[in-house]
Amino acid sequence: MTVAAEPKSAGLKREMGLMSAINVIISVMIGSGIFVSPTAALRYSGSVGFCLVVWTVCGGISLLGALCFAELGTVVPRSGAEYAYLIEAFKKSHSFWGPLPSFICAWVYVMILRPAEIAVIILTFAEYSILPFRHLLGLEHMPAEDLHLLIKLIGILGLGKTNSSVASIPPMTSFVIFSILGIITYINLSSVKLYVTINNVFGFCKVFACLVVIFGGIYQLAIGNTENLAGGFQGTNTSPGHIALAFYNGLWAYDGWSSVTTITEEIKKPEVNIPRSIMIAVPIITGLYVFMNLAYMTVLSMGEMIASEAVGIDFGDRALGSFSFVIPLGVALATFGCALSIQFGVTRLCYVASQEGQMLEPLSYIHVRRSTPAPAVAMQGVLALAFILVGNIETLIEFASFLIWFFYGAAVVALLALRRTQPNVHRPYKVPLIVPYITLAVSVFLSIVPVISDPSPKYLFAVAFILSGVLVYTPFIYYKVRPRWINKLTFIIQVLFEVVPSSSKLD
């Protein structure tokens, strides 16, 4: 029957070439971080000279980590990035402990880390959308607390929901940021081709915004504005804790170099295009980030940058004159594209983890016509809303960076394990052995030193959340306890989202 044959064709499809893969990396890496993190990175580094060193070294560290993932992406040709590598490397080593690291990875990424990132980015989108238009909207005299509340309410509007409490928001403001998260979720529900098209356009827009900042800085240097750079390394912080936090905030902006390996199953010729996309995109973005920070420093002093609510906008007001609107517009496009791609990637992690029986089975189901993991996309939209309501940007940056580098280190351990257990597997790209050891050392440093030097509750919460995954894993994954209501939930999801098990589950 035709109806029976249709589910057999359901599954993810390879629709992305090299340029699309590069744009995925650019889309995730160039988001809110470069416009939010410069303040914290500069504060913790203590000097303009060391701050530029931090941004340069962060780019080098990111490239080393990306090279490790380039090899892993060719050895383990599955979506899911860190999750896929951990499950491949350790699943068969022990019935209980072997699959546990991969489950903890999926648990943290799906339930808290990626939704938190999306929340940070959407809040930043709202901030950059409001600030340039405060005078037009009559908000220039609004108290800071009320302005931050307005930002949160605008972020909520991105879900496309109505709420009587936001009725007083000016219509122009509502129009500018209408349905942010709702549109993102709709795009990822609709089709991969739609995502690729929109992502490519937004990728060019955000690079253009970066180049506007850089050329503005070059002009300032050409006319002799070097006073703010004269301090060099004076005042550099030497505390290991401050250095680690400076790198935290810099590396947050670089996060995303592994994004292309999260969607491996949708990349054409992944054994070729994944390494190439990483080696092209990461150095380009490193250059953009370093020169953007240098541009900021040509017109803003250290104190002004640290006190700034929106460094990019302040730079535009001073350096670009009547064309300053280009910066907030570019930032809005950049943050939208970043949130779009992060949600796109984490839903693929849900998809793979569900296929392995480590997430609810319907999260691996595919829409019968659109070939998208619709239930996973919808779940991520709901989780992002929760973080928009309660999130604090700087706290989330430090908290998320702690978890990100914990799992990056775990993935490098998986690379070393696969080198030993599968030495004869064909590796189209093989990173020099020194590179994973350097990356592992950096991940250990960034995961441990800040916790020791500043034992903040946010780090304890991160550890507690990781441990909570064990409590979920033991009964539901290891012992395979299946509540009776799961079958009803699965049926409701299939009917509501028009999804069926992916072809790999049916074959």
- For 199-228, the pLDDT digits (tens) are 999 888 888 888 988 999 999 999 988 888
Confidence of residue 90 (pLDDT cuts 50, 70, 90): very high
159 has pLDDT over 50: no
Q: Domain for residue 391, yes or no? A: yes
* 93-101 mean pLDDT: 93
Q: Domain for residue 74, yes or no? A: yes
Q: pLDDT value at position 395?
A: 61
Query: How many Cβ atoms are within 10 Å of 32's Cβ, its own excluded?
Result: 25
Dump the DSSP string for 156-212. HHTTT---GGGTTS-HHHHHHTTTHHHHHHHHHHH-HHHHHHHHHHHHHHHHHHHHH
Q: Of 295, 250, 274, 341, which Cα lies nearest the Cα of 59?
A: 250
Q: pLDDT value at position 433?
A: 93
Dump the DSSP string for 356-400. TTSS-GGGGEEETTT-S-HHHHHHHHHHHHHHHHH--HHHHHHHH
Confidence of residue 178 (pLDDT cuts 50, 70, 90): very low
Percent of the chain's residues with pLDDT above 90: 39
Q: Domain for residue 4, yes or no? A: no
Residues 6+ apart with CB under 8 A from 136: 172
End-to-end CA distance of the chain: 17
CA 68-70-71 angle, 5° bins: 70
CA 272-276-278 angle, 5° bins: 125
* 82-102 mean pLDDT: 93
Assess contact for 337 and 125: CB atoms under 8 A: no
Assess contact for 423 and 468: CB atoms under 8 A: no
Residues 261, 21: Cα–Cα separation, whole Å = 9
* Whole-model pTM over 0.95: no
Which of 33-37, 94-98, 162-166 has maximum average pLDDT? 94-98
Domain encompassing residue 234: 18-153+170-502
Q: Domain for residue 12, yes or no? A: no
Q: pLDDT value at position 81?
A: 92
Assess contact for 316 and 326: CB atoms under 8 A: yes
Range in 113-127, 158-172, 173-187, 321-335 with the lowest mean pLDDT: 158-172
Grouping H, G, I as helix, E, B as strand and the rest as coil, residue 501 is strand
Instruction: Return the exposure string of 129-157: e unless at least 16 CB atoms fall within 10 Å of the residue's CB, then b.
Output: bbbbbeeebebeeeeeeebeebbbbbbbb
The chain-wide mean pLDDT, for the chain, equals: 81
Q: Domain for residue 240, yes or no? A: yes
What is the per-residue pLDDT across 145-155, written as a single tens digit (0 to 9) for each? 555 555 555 54
Q: Domain for residue 344, yes or no? A: yes
Indicate the number of domains in the chain. 1
138 has pLDDT over 80: no
Query: How many Cβ atoms are within 10 Å of 479's Cβ, its own excluded?
Result: 10
Q: pLDDT value at position 86?
A: 95
Q: pLDDT value at position 266?
A: 92
2 has pLDDT over 50: no
Q: Domain for residue 5, yes or no? A: no
Q: pLDDT value at position 32?
A: 62
Q: Domain for residue 293, yes or no? A: yes
Q: What is the CATH number of the domain that holds 31?
A: 1.20.1740.10
Q: pLDDT value at position 392?
A: 57
Range in 242-256, 371-385, 450-464 with the lowest mean pLDDT: 450-464
30 has pLDDT over 90: no
Residues 7, 371: Cα–Cα separation, whole Å = 10
